[in-house]
Chains A and B, each alone.
Chain A
Amino acid sequence: MPEWKPEIVRRLAALNLASAREAEIAEELAQHLEDRFQELLASGNTDDQAFRTAIEELKGEDLLARGLKPVEREIYREPLAPGRPTRSVFQGIGHDLRYAIRMLRKSPGFTAVAVLTLALGIGANTSIFSVVYAALLRQMPYRQPSRLITLAEVRQPTEQYWNASYPDYLDWKSQTKTLQSLAGFSGDGFVFHGGGEPQLLPGMQATASFFSTLGVKPMLGRDFVSAEELADGPRVAILTYHFWRTHFGGDANITGRTMKLDNKSVSIIGVLPREFEFVPAGNGEIWVPMHLTKDSGMRTRRNLRWMPVIGRLAEGVSPEQARAEMKTINARLAKSYPRENGQTQVLMVPLRDRLVGQVEPLLWTLFGAVGFVLLIACANVANLLMVRAVARRREFAIRAALGASRRRLIVQVLGESLMLAIAGGALGFLGAFWGTRLLITAIPQQLRDNMPYLADAHPNGVVLAFLCAVAVGTGVLFGLAPALQLSHHVTSDALKEETRASSGAIRTRLRDALVIVEIAFSLVLLAGAGLMVRSLGALLRRNPGFDTSNLLTFSVNLPVASYPKDPDDVQFDREFSDRLRNAPGVIAVANTSVVPLTGGGNTVRFVIEGQPVATGHEDECDIRDVSNSYFSALKIPLLAGRYFNDSADSANAPQHVIVNEAWVKTYVHGENPLGKRIKFTYSPTQKYREIVGVVANIADARLDSPEEPALFLPFAQDPNPFISYIVRALGNPEAPLGTVSELLRQQDPQLFPIQPVTMDNIIAQSPSVFLRRYPSYLIGSFAALALILAVIGLYGLIAHSVSLRTREMGIRIALGAQRRDLFRLVIGQGARLALIGVIIGIAAALGLARLIASLLYGVKGSDPLIFAAVAVALVVVSLLASYIPARRATRVDPIMALRDE
């Protein structure tokens, strides 16, 4: 059988058909020739004759090609022909997208600027969203996390405490019907002997019901059982996944093994799942059952509120029903125990709010700010596209003239926008990996320990979906305006108009509006950044009431086994402090139960002699045990009376207290408190203590916390085996650390400094500073980005309008306008837009400032200084952006301008 196809294909070569089409034609014709060939054979021709006759059908070399040319060209060689009515919607879109890519590749400069702008906007958004998602949107890794609530005993519903007493917890547990289960937990710490230096391990203790209340099952081994609760010390432990991996190499047969905690052997009964996290546990890695000695006040005292409690709502019970029931139970307890519970109420807050409540306003603020950046980026790209659209009006006009429908043109412009957005999104996604990492590492380690959920913050499926939505959304957002604009304009007169561009009024207004919006958004961001920076400054400038320079802090934990009695603690402290004080480079040494600015600490209820109070309604304030040297070492000014001293305030001396200024103001209303006596009410054996001194207030819990009334007791009269030291160094506060370790070891080889940290670091890492510094940097960078984008947008607009109005300028000059007038005309255009933008921006910023009120410190949301500065800055920058085009306008040569036409 002869080969027909090569003959045919040779004749089709000149047509340059798409290969699929060529093959189809060749096949059909070959079939035809073969039929003819067979017929000729059947009628008695020889092979050779039949072949020659059949090939005759093709009629020479070029007839076929000539016949096919007009038909095939039209169908198959012009798939990108813009504007041809499409047979299938998708085919059309495919063509349009390919066409869009080709057009974008033709102007690489424009494409690069647009894609980078979008990548910045989308990348920043995705990074922040990753964190927002991990912290706020993702479900907590518990069973039905929305059914979990927290319970706290407070005196005012505004109090932040999350504590309850153990006896109250037990009563709640036995009486409630609306809560399916209740559990308590508390921090703990162990000296872990795992080979090498003993190390202090942060850990947690929890009631046996804790994990089941959360709905968490150990991955290996078992949960606590109630018999294990309340032992003298922990006998069993459950490890976190991380600890199990790092300290036991992920040994699958770990359960039943033992480890040494605080010199005691503890058997490991389980390992928590990998995804387990619990914010209040911080970096605690070992969980043990609640262990309280029989006579411990923590176990027996109803008015010692130390244990955070969580609960799970029973099936079908609403939070309101549970609140109502707890109110009843609480009233019953108040009646039975008026002294302890007379004034307390039970505060029930969803667990989620407790865990992420602090960072929630911060994150939403950042998310909002970064959203503005994206909107500005969109406005800018829209502006760019519209400028380009002007240049391409003829292209579109021709296509419209060739029959492209309006819809088709819109689809094509949108296609270009989408391509830009997708490219920007892809680049932004890569940036987001890096950005998310950066966002998280910028959080001080200590705070990150309290945000375990951030370990999960990385661009994942949900984030990717968000990114795609944002990319497509932005593509449509910035593409729609130019698209509608263009197709609207293109129809009739663009062809005639040529370059005589009196830029259409609608388009101009739209572009003006975009620039105004950009300026307004920039102002909002700048104002926000300004407010945050001012807050941070105010916070850091705040005098905490003591000299924070050159301070080193650390703690020492005296094992009860070696230091069984109070005097042992006092004895240790006296010896250690004396030796340290005499060490080189050390100026002063003090100890305290709570290092200032680290938060926490106890409160105590008291009565003032001669001021009777109903039982249970006593006043309550902070209480701190401090060494006699505390006030002088921290340079806390004495306002009246005296500091503690070794002779008058020793362990056996009469009991004394020192109060702070806020205490005097609150409880004795400014009267002279010296000589007054107070008594603590937690135990009937307490005696009256005389007030011997008044000291100035210090920022105690946090740098931004209000000045709270506080009482100070001499350490010698109320010692504790967990002692926090504060050392003032001659220079670098870290320098004495070596000496500290050495002296501790010399005095007792089992001791080591726990959590040594300088006061500067405490401040730098404190949540109050973080909550301002972090957004200051971030919103500041967003604002800078926004400003740059807005200025580029404004510059582009003015420059473009000047170039479009060259002829007008020429005429004006020809008619006698002064160059000064032209300069003013152009600058005026920029200034007008800037002013409108600034006014709108100020209004918006004033409204939005209310939303970030909780993050502000020492500055009002409407701070006139900031608003004035930001407004002036924006106007000045806008004028600068208009300056260059304005200069160009004055250089227009009227003859050239007119001749150009």
Chain B
Amino acid sequence: MLILSLVEARPLHGYEISKLIERRSGGTVRFHAASLYPLLYRLERQGWIHGQWVEKSGQRRRRYYRLTRQGRKVLASQLRSWREFVAGVNRVTEPENA
């Protein structure tokens, strides 16, 4: 879900993804290459994201991942259930009649 939501805005390459996750989570969530890439390949294999080699002038080519149509649906439903889950948890943990 994290990755899906990151590439929703714009296509990113693997290193960017790992940096963004690290930064946005304030350093609490960190993916090493050894676990990030198998995850990316699995998401790609499931058809939720699509990786594509892109060459920019003066740089080596990089593989950019973008969200697929199917991935967008999955993300929407995951976000929904996540929010429901979070809301549920909140309702349980909030002090009554606060």
Give per-residue flags for B4-22: 1 if the beta carbon is below 8 A from chain A beta carbons, else 0.
0000000001110010000
Give per-residue flags for A482-502: 1 if the beta carbon is below 8 A from chain B beta carbons, else 0.
000000000000000000000
Q: Are A32 and B18 in contact (CB under 8 A)?
A: yes
Query: Bound complex: CA of A29 vs CA of B37, how far in Å?
Result: 8
From 47 to 79 in chain A, residues with beta carbon under 8 angstroms from any chain B beta carbon are: 56-60, 63-64, 67-68, 70-72, 74-75
Partner of A58, one of B33, B39, B42: B33
Query: Bound complex: CA of A58 vs CA of B37, how far in Å?
Result: 10
Q: Are B35 and A75 in contact (CB under 8 A)?
A: no
Closest CB in chain A relative to B9 CB, distance in Å: 20
B63 interface residue per 8 A CB criterion: yes
Q: Are B62 and A72 in contact (CB under 8 A)?
A: no
Q: A56: which B residues are within 8 A, CB to CB? A: 32
Partner of A59, one of B14, B15, B34, B63: B34
* Total interface residues in chain B, CB < 8 Å: 18
Which among A56, A63, A64, A71 has the greatest number of chain B C-beta atoms within 10 A? A71
Query: Bound complex: CA of A63 vs CA of B35, how far in Å?
Result: 8
Give per-residue flags for B45-83: 1 if the beta carbon is below 8 A from chain A beta carbons, else 0.
100000000000000101100000000000000000000
Q: B39: which A residues are within 8 A, CB to CB? A: 67
Q: Are B35 and A59 in contact (CB under 8 A)?
A: yes
Determine the interface band of chain A, counting residues with CB < 8 A from chain B: 20 to 34
Closest to B36 in A: A32
Closest CB in chain B relative to A56 CB, distance in Å: 7
Q: Are B42 and A71 in contact (CB under 8 A)?
A: yes
Q: Are B34 and A32 in contact (CB under 8 A)?
A: no
Q: Are A28 and B37 in contact (CB under 8 A)?
A: yes
Q: A29: which B residues are within 8 A, CB to CB? A: 33, 37
Q: Are A57 and B32 in contact (CB under 8 A)?
A: yes
Closest CB in chain A relative to B35 CB, distance in Å: 6
Give per-residue flags for A21-38: 1 if the beta carbon is below 8 A from chain B beta carbons, else 0.
000010011011101100
Interface residue SS majority, chain A: helix
Interface residue SS majority, chain B: helix
Q: Are A68 and B38 in contact (CB under 8 A)?
A: yes
Q: Are A68 and B62 in contact (CB under 8 A)?
A: no
Partner of B60, one of A31, A36, A57: A31
Query: Bound complex: CA of A57 vs CA of B14, how far in Å?
Result: 13
From 67 to 100 in chain A, residues with beta carbon under 8 angstroms from any chain B beta carbon are: 67-68, 70-72, 74-75
Q: Are B32 and A25 in contact (CB under 8 A)?
A: no
Interface residues of B (CB under 8 A from A): 13-15, 18, 32-39, 41-42, 45, 60, 62-63
| 11 CB < 8 A contacts A-B | A28-B62, A29-B37, A31-B13, A31-B60, A32-B33, A35-B15, A36-B15, A58-B34, A59-B35, A63-B34, A71-B41
10 additional A-B residue pairs with CB within 8 Å, beyond A57-B34, A71-B45: A28-B14, A29-B33, A31-B62, A36-B15, A60-B34, A63-B34, A64-B34, A67-B34, A68-B38, A72-B41
Leading 6 A-B pairs by shortest Cβ distance: A67-B38, A57-B33, A59-B34, A35-B15, A63-B34, A64-B34
Interface residues of A (CB under 8 A from B): 25, 28-29, 31-33, 35-36, 56-60, 63-64, 67-68, 70-72, 74-75
